[in-house]
């Protein structure tokens, strides 16, 4: 069985180094960016530092443990850099794992260098948490195309419909788009396409959201795609999407852990310095016990994330459930820790520009995206019953 404790000393050392790098090189670039806009100078710096190539490798797989280390460490010092890196990895990962030689050669070097912006386009107005309900249509083109709608023999397709709540949209340079090519319902008949932003018929607009990173809609008015744009196999795109999320869900938990650690450290420092009722806040049992609870939950979340990532890298069974557990527990924990940190700091934490005001806005979204907490509980329960029927532990 994979263990999250292997190389723990090296992991902690790497985290400290990444935090320092983020504070020194990435934080200043992030501060110059505009909320809700892709920060291309920040992406270029991530590429220059070699961080993007760790989540968008030109050869070989992405290691979940390395992805989690990166996301937790960057989140501690610069959430904007963490999110920019994660979105590049998420948008490009289907090509990393299943792209053709031509797709990989065209896009991976550009994304890894921070010169091209990638996006993962799965969610729709009626298919958010229920991703299998997607309705974006890929209508076959050419003579006899309708008869070949579900087959790899189709000469091409035109995409019709809308995607919504897509990170980096509509500012990305290339999108991994999931559309329905076959007659099947739910997960059946979905195909992944790699769609450059300059394709005719592709439009979109930004959405104003609570968090500072770019999110928007995409509209498809007969966008042409061909066999060379298919990522993986025709009709097997939904499985590709879920495999991508199995990798990235523990790292969403790592992002949450990074924010929780940042809020916890700020609270400990504040409790030592702030005086109230004749002494420092840390001498009040209510405060010290709250800090102890925050620390315990954060450490438990970190261990669960590390265990899920180690299991993924080792190819162990039950990855879907462990990934869901990691994301669920870590994101819920981070919400609790950041909220508690705001309570300890009082009104000063609500001022614009305060670390905790920033974290309070950032921490809410991870409980929703890449599967809301309720969806994670559903995944875990299904895996429990599946494993019970097979006579095994999930």
Is residue 370 among the annotated active site residues?
A: yes
How many whole angstroms separate alpha carbon 154 and alpha carbon 67? 37
How many whole angstroms separate alpha carbon 178 and alpha carbon 237? 7
Cβ proximity of 344 and 284 under 8 Å: no
Which one, of 77, 174, 48, lies nearest residue 121 by Cα?
Answer: 174
Cβ proximity of 231 and 239 under 8 Å: no
- Would you state the structure tokens that stand for residue 217, as one six-digit string? 């809609």
Q: Between β-strands 230-231 and 275-276, what pairing exists: parallel, antiparallel or unpaired?
A: unpaired
Whether a cis peptide bond, with omega within 30° of 0, leads into 170 is yes
Total residues found in the chain within this entry:
394
Cβ proximity of 326 and 72 under 8 Å: no
Cα first-last separation, the chain? 13
Q: Between β-strands 118-121 and 174-180, what pairing exists: parallel, antiparallel or unpaired?
A: parallel
Which one, of 156, 138, 151, lies nearest residue 220 by Cα?
Answer: 138
User: If you write DSSP's letter for every residue of 14-67 in order, what string do you get?
Assistant: HHHHHHHHIIIIIHHHHHTSPTTS--HHHHHHHHHTT-HHHHS-SSSPPPHHHH
Q: CA-CA distances (angstroms) from residue 281 to 150, 298, 388?
A: 65, 21, 49
Cβ-based neighbour number of residue 357 at 10 Å: 16
- Catalytic option among 82, 362, 370, 383: 370
Q: CA-CA distances (angstroms) from residue 72 to 78, 88, 260, 273, 289?
A: 10, 16, 10, 26, 25
Residues carrying an active site annotation: 370
């Amino acid at each position: 069985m994979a263990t999250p404790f292997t190389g723990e000393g090296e992991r902690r050392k790497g985290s400290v180094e990444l935090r320092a790098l983020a504070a020194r090189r990435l934080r200043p670039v992030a501060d110059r960016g505009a909320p809700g806009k892709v920060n291309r100078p920040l992406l270029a710096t991530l590429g220059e530092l070699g961080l993007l190539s760790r989540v968008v490798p030109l050869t070989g797989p992405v290691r979940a443990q390395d992805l989690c280390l990166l996301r937790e460490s960057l989140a501690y010092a610069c959430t904007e850099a963490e999110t920019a890196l994660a979105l590049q990895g998420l948008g490009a990962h289907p090509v990393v794992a299943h792209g053709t030689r031509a797709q990989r050669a065209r896009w991976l070097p550009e994304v890894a260098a921070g010169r091209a912006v990638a996006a993962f386009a799965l969610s729709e107005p009626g298919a958010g948490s229920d991703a299998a309900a997607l309705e974006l249509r890929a209508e076959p083109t050419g003579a006899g195309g309708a008869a070949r709608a579900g087959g790899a023999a189709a000469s091409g397709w035109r995409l019709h419909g809308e995607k919504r709540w897509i990170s980096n949209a509509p500012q990305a340079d290339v999108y991994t788009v999931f559309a329905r090519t076959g007659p099947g319902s739910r997960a059946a008949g979905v195909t992944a396409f790699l769609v450059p932003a300059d394709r005719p018929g592709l439009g979109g607009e930004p959405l104003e959201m609570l968090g500072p990173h770019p999110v928007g809609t995409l509209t498809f008015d007969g966008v042409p795609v061909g066999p060379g744009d298919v990522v993986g196999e025709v009709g097997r795109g939904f499985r590709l999407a879920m495999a991508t999320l199995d990798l990235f869900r523990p790292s969403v938990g790592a992002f949450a852990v990074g924010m929780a650690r940042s809020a916890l450290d700020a609270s400990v420092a504040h409790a030592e310095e702030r005086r109230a009722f004749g002494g420092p806040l840390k001498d009040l049992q209510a405060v010290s016990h709250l800090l102890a609870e925050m620390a315990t939950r954060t450490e438990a979340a970190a261990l669960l994330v590390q265990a899920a990532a180690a299991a993924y890298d080792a190819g162990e069974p039950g990855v879907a459930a462990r990934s869901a557990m990691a994301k669920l527990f870590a994101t819920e924990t981070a919400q609790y820790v950041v909220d508690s940190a705001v309570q300890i700091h009082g009104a000063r934490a609500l001022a614009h520009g305060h670390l905790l005001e920033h974290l309070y806005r950032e921490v809410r979204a991870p409980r929703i995206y890449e599967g809301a907490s309720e969806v994670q509980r559903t995944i875990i329960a299904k895996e429990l019953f599946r494993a019970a029927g097979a006579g095994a532990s999930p």
